[in-house]
Amino acid sequence: MEIAINKVNNPNSGSSAAADKNPGSVSTIESAPSVRFAIVAKTITQVVASYGFDVPGFKSPPRSSDADRTVRRQSCGSIVAVRIKDRPFEAVIADMIEGVVLCNDMSTEKAGKLRNLLWGAVAQTGRQQNATSGVKRTVLVHHPTVNDNIEAA
């Protein structure tokens, strides 16, 4: 006796035959550019703070659609805004690092040392992420009902 199974694709699930053969949309979420941006920003922030430099905030995208990177200096701190979309991620990292250098008004020698230090830290973080990429992450999804109000930060 043969049993036929009709597989119905849910258009909202984003599942396809290719995705079924290569699962990775959730388990490899670290590869999403915005998540990688957050991981790199956290690494840079920790290193910069540990050496006593001014730590800028990071955001994406910049206000100006024509710029790949902008730096805003205010009395309360600096903001480095970097465009992620349609760029090699190495260029994004370079802009984040250069933003830190700009925010701290460093001499050429200090700036070079800090760049090397930050590139090394980011590379180390990348190796650690690759080592743990076999671990499947848990993702919580909340589907609100009509009367359920949700606010996110």
Cβ atoms within 10 Å of 103's Cβ, excluding its own = 21
User: Which residues is 71 bridged to in the sheet?
Assistant: 80
Alpha-helical runs (H) found in the chain? 17-21, 33-50, 89-103, 108-131
Domain boundaries, the chain: 30-125
The 10s digit of each residue's pLDDT in 15-54 is 444 444 444 444 455 578 889 999 999 999 999 999 999 9
Mean pLDDT of the chain: 78
pLDDT at 11: 45
User: Tokens in use for 43?
Assistant: 């690494």
Between the two ends of the chain, the Cα-to-Cα distance in Å is 55
pLDDT beyond 60 at 122: yes
pLDDT at 75: 85
The 10s digit of each residue's pLDDT in 68-99 is 999 999 888 999 999 999 999 999 999 999 99
Q: Rg (Cα) of the chain, in Å, rounded? A: 21
